[in-house]
Amino acid sequence: MSATRLPGTPRLLRALNDRAALELLLEQGPLTRARLGELTGLSKVTASQLVERLEERGLVTRVGEQAGGRGPNAQLYAVRPGSAHVIGVDVGPERVVAACADITGAVTSRVEQSTHDTDDPVGVVHNAVVQAASSAGAELASVRRIVLGTPGLVDPGTGDITFAFNLPRWHRGLLAALRDDLDTPVVFENDVNLAAVAEAQSGAARGLADFVLVWVGAGVGLAIMLGGRLHHGSSGAAGEIGYLPVPGAPIPRDVSRRAKPAFQQVAGADAIRALAREHGYPDGVAADAVRAAIADGTAGGPMLDEVARRLALGVASTCVVLDPPLVVLAGEVGQAGGAALAERVQHEVAAITLVRPRVVPTGLTDEPILHGALRTALDAVRDEVFGSTVG
């Protein structure tokens, strides 16, 4: 068996070295051949061969010089941004937002498309993707992956949407239609899951392998990160906490009729607006009502306490099963509530269960679903591009 593997060993080592060098260039910026050799532990000759190989494949390029001691200046190398692009898409009931990033992760464009006047989801996504690529100056052929974040269920087996409460026109068969239309790999992912990806990358859960993210906005949802991986469940329904049968609301028995489920009735935006009316706060937007209660100081405490009590029903139900070390409150309401709401939820969960997770507000304020889509696409494309550097 070992004899059959030996011929592949130099090829594998080159691939591993190439990947390590590309990751270093992404993390640290432009580097000389000598510095790449130091950081990878390679000899000067091997490091030079590596850089030449990556240059030939169009993955790195010379970007300047570094003055040294005697002799000519050393050339600086960086990952070539245009070697691949990705597009992330955030799909909502009223608009579609698309952004393009190059392989370094730099976001080079952002566009919006209204969904009000169309019943053609393929056309809406097509226009948004084409505009995002064009605005970034990228050929559509260089876009290696498109990740769309949508509400609802994504079938882990087929990758297709199986149910989206707020997007009745999004249905099975849409994934294949988009792939045919765009002639590019297209992936659907639940929007709250993508928010958790962004939170793990650069938000409140950075550096943690295990945590849950509770999204509180128009709807309520949950993302589960275990061992650094999203947990989807067998049907893609993991995290649909709106359907928790909690006290305080009737429990619909036919979800196919789009009846509002119990926890959604108790803790969603409509419920928070109703609470705002009861406590004398503006009830136009749930997040604004929460901000008003916080700004009201002690007088706003009763409303915040009730919002936290309701949210704790879902958080506690989740935590007694998963026992995560961290719960992130995200979405419009979670963000608006900040530490004031998160601390109340943490206290309430500890009061009604045996688990005591730390509850914190999101560390992100700028389109986490979109950035999670871009990060998911980038991770996949870097694996494809960087993992195929040896010809």
Q: What is the pLDDT of residues 291-332, one digit of tens each?
A: 999 999 999 999 999 999 999 999 999 999 999 999 999 999
Mean pLDDT of 94-117: 93
Per-residue pLDDT at 390: 47
Residue 329: inside a domain: yes
Residue 41: inside a domain: yes
- Integer-rounded Cα Rg, in Å, for the chain is 24
Per-residue pLDDT at 117: 74
Same domain, 327 and 247: yes
> What CATH number is given to the structural domain containing 64?
1.10.10.10
Same domain, 130 and 188: yes
Q: What is the pLDDT of residues 252-279, one digit of tens each?
A: 887 665 678 999 999 999 999 999 999 9
Q: Is the pLDDT of residue 359 over 60?
A: yes
Please state the separation of Cα 148 from the chain's center in Å: 10
Q: Which of these three, 48, 79, 110, is where a domain ends?
A: 79
Same domain, 75 and 91: no
Structural domains in the chain (count):
3
Residue 328: inside a domain: yes
Same domain, 117 and 37: no
Question: Exposed (0-12), middle (13-18) or buried (19+): which is 95, by Cβ within 10 Å?
Answer: middle
Q: Which of these three, 51, 79, 107, is where a domain ends?
A: 79
Per-residue pLDDT at 71: 66
Same domain, 92 and 66: no
Q: Poorest-confidence range of 42-46, 262-266, 340-344?
A: 42-46
Same domain, 259 and 320: yes
Residue 4: inside a domain: no
Residue 3: inside a domain: no
Residue 2: inside a domain: no
Question: What percent of the chain is predicted at pLDDT more than 90?
Answer: 75
Length of the chain (residues): 391
Same domain, 294 and 189: no
Q: Which of these three, 20, 44, 79, is where a domain ends?
A: 79
Per-residue pLDDT at 81: 94
Domain that holds residue 115: 85-193+369-388
Residue 170: inside a domain: yes
Q: Is the pLDDT of residue 247 over 60?
A: yes
Same domain, 156 and 217: no
pLDDT band at 84 (very low <50, low <70, confident <90, very high): very high
Same domain, 188 and 222: no
Same domain, 148 and 167: yes
CB 375 within 8 A of CB 197: yes
Q: What is the C-alpha to C-alpha distance for residues 313 and 53, in angstroms, rounded to an integer? A: 57
Same domain, 118 and 73: no
Q: Is the pLDDT of residue 8 over 60?
A: no
Residue 292: inside a domain: yes
Same domain, 224 and 359: yes
> What CATH number is given to the structural domain containing 136?
3.30.420.40
User: Which tokens sit at 122?
Assistant: 């393929």
Q: What is the 3-state secondary structure (H, E, C) of the chain?
A: CHHHHHHHHHHHHHHHHHHHHHHHHHHHCCEEHHHHHHHHCCCHHHHHHHHHHHHHCCCEEEEEEECCCCCCCEEEEEECHHHCEEEEEEECCCEEEEEEEECCCCEEEEEEEECCCCCCHHHHHHHHHHHHHHHCCCCHHHEEEEEEEECCEECCCCCCEEECCCCCCCCCCHHHHHHHHHCCCEEEEEHHHHHHHHHHHHCCCCCCCCEEEEEECCCEEEEEEECCEECCCCCCCCCCHHHCCCCCCCCCCCHHHCCCCHHHHHHCHHHHHHHHHHCCCCCCCHHHHHHHHHHCHHHHHHHHHHHHHHHHHHHHHHHHHHCCCEEEEEHHHHHHHHHHHHHHHHHHHHHHCCCCCEEEECCCCCCHHHHHHHHHHHHHHHHHHHCCCCC
Q: What is the C-alpha to C-alpha distance for residues 99 and 138, in angstroms, rounded to an integer? A: 12
